Amino acid sequence: MSPTLTVANWKMNGNRRFWSELTQSLKSEIQYIETNMVLCAPSAAFYDVSRALEGATNMALAAQDIHAEDSGAHTGDTSAEMAKDFGAKFTLVGHSERRMEHFEKGDVLKAKFKQALNHDLHPILCFGESLEDKKNDQTLTVLDGQLSEVLDGVEVLDGDAFSLAYEPVWAISSSAGSLGREPSEDELTQVFEFVRQKMVEKFGETVGNSIKLLYGGSVKADNVAKIISNRYIAGVLVGGASLKAESFLAIARAVAAKPN
C-alpha cells in the first residue's frame, strides 16, 4: 500500500451519471499522483463506480458502512460480502454520522470491524470527540474509550490490516456546534501521539507503528497542506470537498507531496 491514503466520503450524494463522471475524472488524473485514492460510495453507486474503476491501479472502492452480520433480515443494510462482490477493498466503520444518527457504539462497531477483517476488507475506523467533550477537557478520555471498545481483543499481524481516522466532531462544518476550524498543530500532535502510543501498546512496536493514522474534519484544498504536514498523519478523509474532481485532486496532490 502507498505511504498515504486520500479517502473520499461521498455520503448520501449523487446519482448514476454523477458517480460515473466523477470517478472517470479522478481516474484520468490519479495515475500521475503518488497516493492511494479510496472512494467511499453509497451502496447504490457500487455498480457504476466499480465499472468506472476498471484498470485503475491506485484507486479503490469502499463501503460507507457494513452490517455486523453476514446476512439476514436487515432491511436497508449492506453486508461485507455484498460490498466485496462489487470490488470494494475498504469500508468505513464508526463514522461520526453513524454514531450520532444511528447510535452506533461498542459491541456493534466491534462486530462490524471484525466482519470487515474476516472478509478481507480494510476497515477505516473513525473516532473523535464532540464539542462538549472538548470543552470539558475529555478529549483523550473519550478517544481512549472509542478505540478500546472496538480494538480490545482484536489481533492483527500487519499494520496494513486497518487504518484509523480521527474526525473531531467540533471541526466538521456540517455538524451542530462546529467551531468552524480544523485542530491546531498542537491539538493534532497531542491526539496523534496518544493514538500512536496506544496502538503500540495494543499491537506491539512493528504493527502499532505501521498503522496508518488519518485526519478527517472539513478537509479542503486550502488547509490540507497544513494538516498533512503533521508527522503522524498519513492521509485524509474528505467529505464535501471530494464531490468535485478539481478540489479532491488538489487534496490528493497535497497528500502525495507529504515528505517521507
What does R_g of the chain's alpha carbons equal in angstroms?
Answer: 17
Integer Cα distance of 236 and 218 in angstroms: 10
102 catalytic per annotation:
no
Nearest of 118, 129, 127 to residue 150 by alpha carbon: 127
Give me the catalytic one of 104, 129, 167, 182: 167
Cα–Cα nearest to 41, from 68, 60, 17 = 60
Instruction: Determine the Cα angle at 116 with ends 195 and 123, to 5°.
Output: 35
From residue 149, alpha-carbon distances to 75, 87, 91 in Å are 26, 29, 18
Q: Active-site residue 29, yes or no?
A: no
Number of C-beta neighbours around residue 105 at 10 A:
15
CB-based contacts of 204: which residues, under 8 Å, 6+ apart? none
Residues whose CB is less than 8 angstroms from the CB of residue 32 and which lie 6 or more positions away in sequence, other chains included: none
Q: How far apart are CA 211 and CA 101, in angstroms?
A: 28
Q: How far apart are the first and last CA of the chain?
A: 14
**Cell numbers describing residue 200:** 503500540
- Tell me which of 67, 95, 97, 104 is the catalytic residue: 95
Query: Cα–Cα distance between 165 and 151 in angstroms, integer?
Result: 14
Nearest CA among 63, 158, 167, 145 for reference residue 112: 63
Q: Tell me the catalytic residues.
A: 95, 167
